[in-house]
Each structure stands twice: as structure tokens, then as C-alpha cells.
């Protein structure tokens, strides 16, 4: 297989057996990571939980709900050593496409005010600011606002 084919990301549903790798990524890239229980609950609830693989290795994942024509992207993550190579944008495009196919007309998400990289990715994909949720996220010092962002699908 060529090096190019090796770097092509593939998406598949998340399984419980992925959770060790998912948690290793999650705890490495977030100051306040989801717990294993959050992922287990999301799988049990039937949320759209999918992982991205490159050369058979899980390098990212996302979690989304779709209800009443509205998609809510709850988690979007790329492992640290795989960031800045276009995989985050591909992962987001995949969830946007999945939401559209499921009949959603809008996608919503929350992002930390301080998450410049996440906000920059979402703005570049056409997301707009909907509202501020004051003190939504915990920080080491106290609380931090969330920006609710939306995209018309």
C-alpha cells in the first residue's frame, strides 16, 4: 500500500473495546476530560459515537446526538501527535455529513472561550456564535464561559 493510502482516515462506530485508547487520548488532550462512564453512557444511549482510524490506529473520535432536526456535537477530538494534519477538519466534515443524512437542519456545539484552535476550526467551517453560556466549564481557577456555536446544514 502506498504512503498516501496509509494516511487516509477511515471512520467506524466506536466500540467498548476502543475505550482504553479513547480515554488515553481524552485524558492527554483535555484539562477536564470526559470520564469512561461518559463514553459508556453515550454508547448505551445510542448516540453517534464514531472513531477515526489511520493505518488501523484510532487517532480521533467524536460523539453527536441527533434529535428533532437538530444535531448536537458533544465531543470532537484528535490525538495530540496527530493534530495539525487536517484530520480534525475531516472528522468535523464527517459528523456534519452524518447529521445531514440523519435529517438534521442545524448543528450546535459548545466550545470553551479559551479554545482558540477549536473556535478557529468551527468558524472556518461556517459556524456562527449563537450565545454565551456563562461559567459553563470548570477550570483550574474556577469557571469559564462556553460559546454556543451553530451551523445551518
Burial class (CB in 10 A: 0-12, 13-18, 19+), 21: middle
Choosing from 110, 128, 136, 144, the catalytic residue is 110
Residues 79-138 within binding reach of ligand COA (CB under 6 A): 83-89, 111, 115, 117-118, 120-121, 124
Choosing from 87, 122, 128, 137, the catalytic residue is 122
∠ Cα 71 41 43 (to 5°): 65
Q: Is 78 in the site for ligand COA (CB under 6 A)?
A: yes
The distance of closest approach from Cβ of residue 82 to ligand COA in the complex, given in angstroms and rounded to an integer, is 7
Q: Is 24 in the site for ligand COA (CB under 6 A)?
A: no
Coil, helix or strand at residue 152 = strand
Q: How many CA atoms lie within 13 A of 79 on its CB side?
A: 15
Judge whether 110 counts as a catalytic residue.
yes
> Site for ligand COA (CB under 6 A): which residue of 76, 96, 107, 151?
76
Q: How many residues interact with ligand COA (rule CB under 6 A)?
A: 18
Residue 119 and residue 128 in contact, taking contact as beta carbons nearer than 8 Å: no
For ligand COA, the closer of residues 104 and 122 by Cβ is: 122
Q: Which single residue brings its beta carbon nearest to ligand COA?
A: 88
Judge whether 70 counts as a catalytic residue.
no
Beta-strand relationship, 57-67 and 48-54: antiparallel
Grid cell in block for residue 59: 487517532
153: closest CA among 110, 113, 112, 93? 93
- Residues of this chain that interact with ligand COA (CB under 6 A) are 29, 76-78, 83-89, 111, 115, 117-118, 120-121, 124
Q: Provide the annotated active-site residues.
A: 110, 122
Amino acid at each position: 500500500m502506498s504512503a498516501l493510502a496509509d494516511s487516509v482516515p477511515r471512520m467506524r462506530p466506536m466500540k467498548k473495546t476502543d475505550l482504553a485508547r479513547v480515554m488515553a487520548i481524552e485524558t492527554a488532550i483535555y484539562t477536564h476530560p470526559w470520564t469512561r462512564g461518559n463514553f459508556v453512557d453515550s454508547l448505551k444511549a445510542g448516540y453517534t459515537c464514531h472513531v477515526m482510524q489511520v493505518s488501523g490506529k484510532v487517532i480521533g473520535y467524536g460523539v453527536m446526538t441527533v434529535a428533532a432536526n437538530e444535531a448536537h456535537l458533544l465531543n470532537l477530538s484528535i490525538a495530540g501527535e496527530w493534530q495539525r494534519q487536517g484530520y480534525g477538519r475531516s472528522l468535523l466534515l464527517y459528523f456534519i455529513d452524518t447529521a445531514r443524512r440523519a435529517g438534521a437542519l442545524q448543528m450546535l456545539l459548545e466550545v470553551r472561550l479559551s479554545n482558540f484552535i477549536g473556535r478557529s476550526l468551527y468558524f472556518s467551517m461556517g459556524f456562527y456564535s449563537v450565545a454565551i453560556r456563562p461559567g459553563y466549564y470548570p477550570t483550574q481557577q474556577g469557571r469559564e464561559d462556553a460559546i454556543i456555536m451553530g451551523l445551518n446544514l
